[in-house]
Amino acid sequence: MELGENERQKSYQNYQPITDRTFEFSLRIINLCNFLNSQSPTSKLLANQLFRSGTSMGANIEESQAAQSTKDKLLLKKQEKLDIG
């Protein structure tokens, strides 16, 4: 299904760079982890793992954008997919 001109313009207006989206996601993860840390000991363990995995995505994006070559970028994006999935 092809987007019409109006739908395309709306999607561009709502566009937010991946760095901004991952930063906002990381902030939400940090807030959730702060809440979980105030709960049971099991919740604290889960919060620690969630913090590491939830904030690594932003670091991977930043690192891939700083890569020197296209080959570097492809390798870093592949690594990012392995970390996430």
The tokens describing 71, both together, are 């080959």
Does position 72 have pLDDT exceeding 80, yes or no? no
The fold of 17-84 is de novo design (two linked rop proteins) (1.20.1440)
pLDDT in tens, 22-31: 999 999 999 9
The tokens describing 9, both together, are 């313009």
pLDDT in tens, 47-61: 999 999 988 888 888
Q: Which has more pLDDT, 43 or 75?
A: 43
Please choose, from the candidates 24, 31, 16, 14, the residue with its C-alpha nearest in 3D space to the C-alpha of residue 58.
24
Boundaries of every domain in the chain: 17-84
What are residue 40's phi and psi, to 5 degrees?
-70, 165
